Structure 1
Amino acid sequence: MSALSQLNIIQVKELTKSVNTLDGDLTILSDISFNVKPGESVAIVGASGSGKSTLLSLLAGLDRASAGSIVLDGEALEELDEEGRAALRAQKVGFVFQSFMLVQSLSALENVMLPAELANQKDAKEQALALLEQVGLSHRVEHYPSQLSGGEQQRVAIARAFVGTPKILFADEPSANLDSKNGKLIEQLLFDLNQQQGTTLVLVTHDESLAQRCDRILHIEGGELTQLRDPENNNDESLEETAQEQANVG
């Protein structure tokens, strides 16, 4: 393992994603490189169609890159088959989807327990109950998704994402389908759990105010990474410096 991968829980180098269309190859992402330190919160922002959700799917191992590399906590995704990537997600990754993605035939408690049970964790129920209480749903554990409001469903989804204490949490527009009040609640929960558990948070958003709450902002435009920004200091990080750092270390 290189020194760089020890310092960064996520390492992305020269990442490219292309798809075949009737009009020829379409490049969705081109030559993306950046690193994320353990415990950081990072926002990926960009216009609709810029490639930010595709980037998130690649980072989570839900899709495969056409070229380049992604290293998650020391493991290179391009070296893993589908089973290996699924195992990595089960061990180290949580994911919050815009559309909740709850299993309709399972109760809130069962939905949250599911990842822990699949990972053969013996305390799945205890973890799930504690997380549902933390997100304010201890009184709704036996309710099914159809009996929950949108905000409640997304809170269940967040509790499910944090079960097993993942090292990395990916969130794709986590508050986009919610009203303003519930959206702010969901956003606060993500940052609270990120800080309490030390989980690295990477989220896709079109909401500039939400992005400003993160430690860093990655701007994607036309499939290219155009800017790395620290909101607190309002500093732009040179993409050339990032590339040079990766080249120097390995």
Structure 2
Amino acid sequence: MIETKSVTKKVNTSEGSLQILHPISFEVKPGETIAIIGASGSGKSTLLGLLAGLDEVSGGEIFLDGEPLHRMDEEARARLRGEKVGFIFQSFMLVQSLTALENIMLPAEIAGLDDPKGRANKILKQVGLEHRAHHFPNQLSGGEQQRVAIARAFITQPKILFADEPTGNLDSANSEKVEDLLFAMNEDLQTTLVLVTHDDELAKRCQRQLRMTAGELVEVSPQLKVVEGSMQAGSKQ
């Protein structure tokens, strides 16, 4: 479902080129749940952005459901995201001028799906917020906003879901509710899930955990091993 080959990321600064990601190679199989963990500044969100086509690689290759993301311009990446990707952000990223229902409808409308309102009402009920359909984001709690964001991410039934610190802005009670909802819906739709988190307990709910330090994958779960900065699936340590 996702394959990276020697992916790197550099940015230019006033002091010269800064290497954010060192060569990274790994695969994610269809339906897998993967957690990328690490401290702030380790490069995990940068990697997630590259995998989702939100940014361009400096070197290497990324294949998303068989398509060469690294060769695409922004327009082509946006098309691919619209067809195959859902995204959940730490800060919810809801459109403030739209109601909960309208926020959920938006991706379905952009994708040209039939009956976006009917789809949105159905998934709003799944996340337990049908009574909040006509409320605006500023009238919702943080936990409610993230549940709307989850519903929005799943409405197009994406093949791949990326989540960047999905519980980072929530208290422990709301975090648990959001986690349960995220994994339940993901299992129901058999979506491939890649999430970034600094929360080890959340990471343990995924099938595999990858740890990043200073732009390198230096520790992984027992199902994988690191080979010169890359990872091979199915190997024993």
Q: Which has the higher helix share?
A: 1
- Three-state SS of the structure 1 residue aligned to 2:93 is coil
- Contact 1:32/1:224, CA 8 A, preserved across alignment: yes
Could you tell me which residue of structure 1 aligns to residue 60 of structure 2?
Answer: 68
CA–CA distance in structure 2, aligned partners of residues 73 and 64 of structure 1: 17
Matched to 2:9, the amino acid is K
Could you tell me which residue of structure 1 aligns to residue 127 of structure 2?
Answer: 135
- Contact 2:3/2:28, CA 8 A, preserved across alignment: yes
**Deviates most, 99-108 or 117-126:** 117-126
**Residue 240 of structure 1: how far off its partner (Å):** 2.2
Deviations 1:168-221 (A, max 9, x none): 000000001011110111111111011000000100000001111100001101
Could you tell me which residue of structure 1 aligns to residue 219 of structure 2?
Answer: 227
Q: Does 1:171 align with 2:158?
A: no
Could you tell me which residue of structure 2 aligns to residue 11 of structure 1?
Answer: 3
Could you tell me which residue of structure 2 aligns to residue 43 of structure 1?
Answer: 35
Deviations 1:10-50 (A, max 9, x none): 00110000000011111110101110011100000011100
Q: Does 1:237 align with 2:209?
A: no
Q: Return the TM-score normalized by structure 1.
A: 0.90
- Three-state SS of the structure 2 residue aligned to 1:238 is strand
Tell me: CA distance 1:201–1:46, structure 2 relative to 1, closer, same or farther (3 Å).
same
**Residue 80 of structure 1: how far off its partner (Å):** 1.3
Matched to 1:237, the amino acid is L
Q: Does 1:106 align with 2:91?
A: no
**Residue 243 of structure 1: how far off its partner (Å):** 5.3
- Three-state SS of the structure 1 residue aligned to 2:217 is strand
**Residue 238 of structure 1: how far off its partner (Å):** 1.7
Matched to 1:204, the amino acid is V
- The 5 Å alignment of 1:71-90 reads 71-90=63-82
Could you tell me which residue of structure 2 aligns to residue 181 of structure 1?
Answer: 173
- The 5 Å alignment of 1:16-27 reads 16-27=8-19
- Contact 2:224/2:231, CA 8 A, preserved across alignment: no
- Contact 1:34/1:242, CA 8 A, preserved across alignment: no
Q: Return the TM-score normalized by structure 2.
A: 0.95
CA–CA distance in structure 1, aligned partners of residues 66 and 143 of structure 2: 35
Count of aligned positions? 233
Q: Determine which of 194, 202, 206 is the counterpart of 1:202.
A: 194
Tell me: CA distance 1:23–1:190, structure 2 relative to 1, closer, same or farther (3 Å).
same
Q: Structure 2: any 5+ residue segments left out of the alignment?
A: none
Tell me: CA distance 1:243–1:57, structure 2 relative to 1, closer, same or farther (3 Å).
closer
- Three-state SS of the structure 2 residue aligned to 1:89 is helix
- Contact 1:227/1:236, CA 8 A, preserved across alignment: no
Q: Structure 1: any 5+ residue segments left out of the alignment?
A: 1-8, 230-234
CA–CA distance in structure 1, aligned partners of residues 168 and 52 of structure 2: 20
**Residue 76 of structure 1: how far off its partner (Å):** 0.7
CA–CA distance in structure 2, aligned partners of residues 141 and 33 of structure 1: 42
- The 5 Å alignment of 1:143-154 reads 143-154=135-146
